Amino acid sequence: MAFFSLLAAVALEQLRPLRQPLPHYQQFGRYTQWLERRFNAGEASHGMIAWMLAVAPLLAGVWLIYTLLGSIAPMLGWAWSVLALYGTLGFKYYSDDAERIARLLRDGDLAAARAALAAWRGGDASQFSAEELARVTIEQTLAASHRQMFGVLIWFAVLAPLGPVGAVLFRAASILDRRWAGTRGLFGSFARRAFHAINWLPARLTAITYAIAGNFEDATYCWRTQAEAWPEPEEGVVIAAGAGAMGVRLGQAVNVGGESVWRPELGSGQPADADTIDSAVSMIWRGLVIWLAAGLLFVIAGWVS
**Residue 241 in 3-state DSSP?**
helix
pLDDT digits (tens, 9 = 90+) for 166-219: 999 999 999 999 888 766 678 888 999 999 999 999 999 999 999 999 999 999
CA atoms in the 13 A half-sphere facing the CB of 81: 27
What value does the mean pLDDT take over residues 208-237? 94
Alpha helices in the chain (DSSP H): 2-15, 23-39, 44-72, 74-88, 91-106, 110-121, 130-145, 151-158, 165-180, 189-213, 216-226, 233-246, 274-304
pLDDT digits (tens, 9 = 90+) for 161-181: 999 999 999 999 999 998 887
C-alpha to C-alpha distance for 155 and 166, rounded to whole angstroms: 5
Q: Are 99 and 105 in contact (CB under 8 A)?
A: no
C-alpha to C-alpha distance for 82 and 80, rounded to whole angstroms: 5
- CA 155, distance to chain mean position in Å, is 12
At residue 294, the pLDDT reads 85
- Quick one: which of 79, 73, 58, 76 has its CA closest to 8? 79
**Chain-wide mean pLDDT for the chain?**
90
Q: Are 3 and 296 in contact (CB under 8 A)?
A: yes
